[in-house]
Amino acid sequence: DPSVTGKAAGNDLRERKKSMPVAIVLSGHDEAAEQLRAVFGLEGDLTDADVDRATTVIEAAGGRDRTVAEARLHLDAALDSVADVGLVDTAVGELADLARFVAERDF
């Protein structure tokens, strides 16, 4: 959402950035990976239709959902680790809040 991120929707795709959802889909050996590779391999600037196609492929292939699941695994591991370090409760709470913010943000 541009009002939240301050960036135009699809900007990262338009610039062919290899975000986690993109990398997850591209790592596959299926039709979704082939379709996304085709979009990323186009010459010149991507059109709005190209970006829409890439977005649809990523969503349908579960790129975003798998990214959220992976982030959740890392968040849980980080929270477990921070709890076991032996820091004062205030520091543990602040680190946990920071980790949750990074993992659960919407932008």
Find the DSSP H helices in the chain.
Answer: 2-5, 11-14, 20-26, 31-40, 48-60, 63-84, 89-104
Q: What pLDDT sits at residue 27?
A: 97
pLDDT, one tens digit per residue, over 78-89 is 999 988 888 899
Distance CA 61, CA 64 (A): 8
* pLDDT in the model for residue 65: 95
What pLDDT, on a 0 to 100 scale, did the predictor assign at position 85? 86
- pLDDT at residue 4, as a whole number: 66
- pLDDT lower than 70: segments of the chain: 1-6, 107
